[in-house]
Amino acid sequence: MRAVKPKAAGIMTSSVAGTAGYDEQAKTLAEQYESIEFETVHRDVLHLFPPPPSRVLDVGAGSGRDAAALAGRGHHVVAAEPSSELRLEGQRRHAAAAIDWIDDSLPDLARLRARGECFDLVLLSAVWMHLDAAEQRAAMASLAALLAPGGVAILSLRHGPVPAGRRMFDVTADETVTLAGAHGLACRHSGTRRDPHARPGVNWSVLALAREDLPRKDLPG
């Protein structure tokens, strides 16, 4: 298990830098995340999600809103969440959902990669901007390794003011598409979103990045 530091009474904080602030506010944040429906958050890219039953990985799954919705649609869902307090919130709130929760983190997703699985959909909803430039480079390699041939990764990047106590970096859609291209991932969608919580100054980029090599069964001849 990754080392965790006791912070306040009863709260263990993750040693993953990008999770700064999440353990301490897990209950409030989970409430906020769950106040919006999966379909509302992702409606601009839902047509790019593979049909069920597909192998889905939700990285930085938070309260499990998206993992639970995707499991409910018949997908096989793994939810990776390094904040133990958010993971517990997710497991509690979505106890009835068939979600395989795992304590793992970008950039390496080492535990998942050791399992040797690959995925038709990797969702990184509101996660990428928690990584610095070096972490993003390593994380894109992990992403490419975890995607099955023909698989797609959906990323949303937050822009705007950084909440107190959180660790975020400025990252553009264009530089992320360039980095993806260097790892054999092609951009299928690049768009923008208003903030679903209408926070002042906050807006989003949304990307769909695909491994365009065909699954073996679909290869001609």
Ligand X SMILES: C[S@@+](CC[C@H](N)C(=O)[O-])C[C@H]1O[C@@H](n2cnc3c(N)ncnc32)[C@H](O)[C@@H]1O
Phi, psi for 24 (deg, rounded to 5): -65, -30
Q: Token match 């399992």: residue?
A: 115
Closest among 183, 176, 86, 196 to 143, alpha carbons compared = 183
Phi, psi for 93 (deg, rounded to 5): -70, -35
In the region spanning residues 52 to 111, those forming contacts with ligand X, defined by CB under 6 A, are: 59-62, 65, 81-83, 86, 105-106
Nearer to ligand X, 62 or 151 (CB): 62
* Residue 141 CB, nearest approach to ligand X (Å): 14
* Residue 159 CB, nearest approach to ligand X (Å): 13
Q: How many residues bind ligand X (CB under 6 A)?
A: 20
Over its C-alpha atoms, the chain yields an Rg (Å, rounded) of 17
Binding-site string for ligand X from residue 110 to residue 149, where x marks contact by CB under 6 A and - marks none: ---------------xxx--x-------------------
Q: Strands, DSSP E only, in 49-107?
A: 55-59, 76-80, 99-102
In the region spanning residues 6 to 35, those forming contacts with ligand X, defined by CB under 6 A, are: 16, 18-19, 22, 33
Is residue 209 near ligand X by the rule CB under 6 A? no
Nearer to ligand X, 80 or 180 (CB): 80
**CB contact at 8 A, 136 and 71:** no
Nearer to ligand X, 78 or 127 (CB): 127
Q: What is the widest separation between alpha-carbon atoms in the chain? A: 63
* Residue 76 CB, nearest approach to ligand X (Å): 18
Phi, psi for 218 (deg, rounded to 5): -95, 0
Q: How many CB atoms lie under 10 A from the CB of residue 101?
A: 19
Nearer to ligand X, 54 or 105 (CB): 105
In the complex, the residues that contact ligand X under the rule CB under 6 A are: 16, 18-19, 22, 33, 59-62, 65, 81-83, 86, 105-106, 125-127, 130
